Amino acid sequence: VQQREWFNFFDDGGRKAAEDEEAVEREVEERNWLRDLLGRGAASAEATEQVEQEAATEGRKFGLLESFATFSSQQQQQQEVESSTTEVEKPKIVEKPKVAEKPKVVEKPKVEEKVVKEKPQKKKQEEKIVDLSPKPIKIEMGSHILPHPAKVRWGGEDAVFTKGRTFGVFDGVSGAEKRDGVPLYSRTLANEMKKMVGNEGVTVKEMTNFLTAAASYADGAATGASTAVVASIGENGFLQALNVGDSYCLVVRDGKVTAKTREISHYWECPYQLSDDSPDRPKDGTKLNVELVPGDIVIMGSDGVFDNVSDDMLLDLVAKSPSKASALARKICDLSRKQSLDKNSVTPYAKQAQRRGDPDYRSGFGGKVDDVSCVVVICK
């Protein structure tokens, strides 16, 4: 019976021996029963052999159980390793395409190409700015004075000055009272203006301030009276002019007069003038602002020029004269003097005098003898 039970136990793979506590208790009862049957201390050889066989069987039984438990634990560990290996390998398969699909590596050269393309564009823009920037216009100045024939001994009453890019003409008023031994008002204005201006161009506002300061000085240090026209050519190529009286400053371009200052007078033969007893001030003068280009010719002169030479005659003379500022200024003065001495010449002054009923100019012909002063500026 015992052998049959052990056989059934091992036939089931040892599963019930590990879990069934009743089998253990039954075994204990059978051992106790066998000991009672054989008697304490008098067991036969057969009983003793049977007991030893049962103990051996029991030892084999527990050995199989231990080996089975070891086998089961090894299988379980192997399954856990396989499962963990599977779990570790899965993310590797997913991560590989992510690394390969990174777009940043492809975009880097595109950014570099954009920078390389933009650099030449910036250079082109800079070159355009340099090409379009205005260059300081170059100028050549020349001046000339012819005093009234009756005033040659002491040089007449007109005065001029040129300095740097600024110039002016000052026409002394013949009818103004003068004191002997005192500098003329016109010459004092010219000298003071030359001291105050620099070699660079000045604005019309600055010229007004300079001329005001010069007139204030002349009021106490000079005698007589004077008209004034001053101008300056800035580095930007603009001509700015200030005119107090009946002198003129004009621009000749392509054989035409393109700009001209405006005369300012109280009435006929009484232009605005500066003196210690005159209410006229530089701020009252007319102004001119015009942009010059290479080839332009600026002509500034006293009324001794423009009373005797019309604009058309002046343009003809410019067209036939050499391109030297000093030579052209001399020719303009010579022509003005010639016209003033010719009683049959057609002059702007004769026409004005005829309209106003001047008996000396009833015919409308003839010039006006006066001091003649002129400044010529050629733009290059």
Alpha helices in 103-203 (DSSP H): 104-132, 185-196
Distance CA 61, CA 12 (A): 12
Q: How far is CA 269 from the centre of its chain?
A: 53
- Residue with the bigger pLDDT between 139 and 104: it is 139
Residue pair 374/144 in contact by the 8 Å Cβ criterion: yes
Distance CA 143, CA 123 (A): 46
pLDDT reported for residue 111:
46
- Asked if residue 113 has pLDDT above 70, the reply is no
DSSP-assigned beta bridge partners for residue 223? 184
Residue pair 282/214 in contact by the 8 Å Cβ criterion: no
Output the pTM of the full model: 0.66
Digit-coded pLDDT (tens) for 19-42:
566 666 777 776 776 666 655 544
Query: 89-93, 121-125, 165-169 — which is least confidently predicted?
Result: 89-93
Distance CA 269, CA 359 (A): 15
pLDDT reported for residue 91:
44
pLDDT reported for residue 356:
94
Mean pLDDT of the residues in the chain: 81
pLDDT reported for residue 90:
44
Q: What are phi and psi of 36, to 5 degrees?
A: -65, -35
Residue pair 282/211 in contact by the 8 Å Cβ criterion: yes
For residues 183-196, average pLDDT:
98
pLDDT reported for residue 317:
97
Pick the closest to residue 287 from 237, 229, 374 (CA basis). 229
Q: Which residues contact 224 (CB under 8 A, 6 or more apart)?
A: 157, 172, 173, 176, 177, 178, 184, 185, 186, 275
pLDDT reported for residue 128:
58
pLDDT reported for residue 57:
52
Distance CA 237, CA 244 (A): 23
